[in-house]
């Protein structure tokens, strides 16, 4: 019998990888990958090429997200699969660059 601590992450990954990508699924995976504080300070949108646009509340959050970008991308790919989110683009709220 496997311990619950190893079964739950496997089950969550399996569920997230099934079916079509949706905004709700993306937001759930985002919160799991970054935690509640960063989740509250950001909004996310996945474009058709697999780039996740992350709108950060301010420059401090943008700096933190850029510093952690590789770790965040790896966590998202582990949760959603390696082909759903291919890159992150960090922007300020109200800007698109």
Overall average pLDDT of the 76-86 stretch: 94
Give pLDDT, residue 17: 79
37 is a domain residue: yes
Mean of all residue pLDDT scores within the chain:
88
CA distance 32 to 17: 14
CA distance 10 to 7: 5
pTM of the prediction? 0.85
Backbone conformation region of residue 94, classed left if phi is above 0, alpha if psi is from -120 to 50, else beta: left
97 is a domain residue: no
Contact 53, 65 (CB under 8 A): no
Expressed as residue numbers, the domain containing 8 is 4-92
Q: Can you give the CATH number for the domain in which 8 is found?
A: 3.30.70
Give pLDDT, residue 95: 54
Tokens of 28: 């759930």
pLDDT band (50, 70, 90) for residue 97:
very low
How many domains would you assign to the chain?
1
Beta strands in the chain (DSSP E): 42-46, 51-56, 87-92
């Amino acid at each position: 019998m496997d311990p619950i601590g190893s079964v739950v992450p496997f089950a969550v990954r399996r569920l997230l990888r099934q079916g079509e990508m949706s905004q709700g699924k993306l937001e759930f995976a985002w919160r799991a990958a970054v935690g509640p504080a960063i989740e509250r300070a950001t909004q996310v949108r996945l474009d058709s090429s697999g780039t996740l646009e992350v709108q950060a509340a301010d420059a401090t959050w943008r700096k933190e997200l850029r510093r952690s970008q590789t770790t965040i991308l790896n966590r998202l790919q582990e949760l959603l699969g390696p082909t759903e989110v291919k890159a992150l683009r960090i922007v300020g709220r109200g800007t698109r660059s």
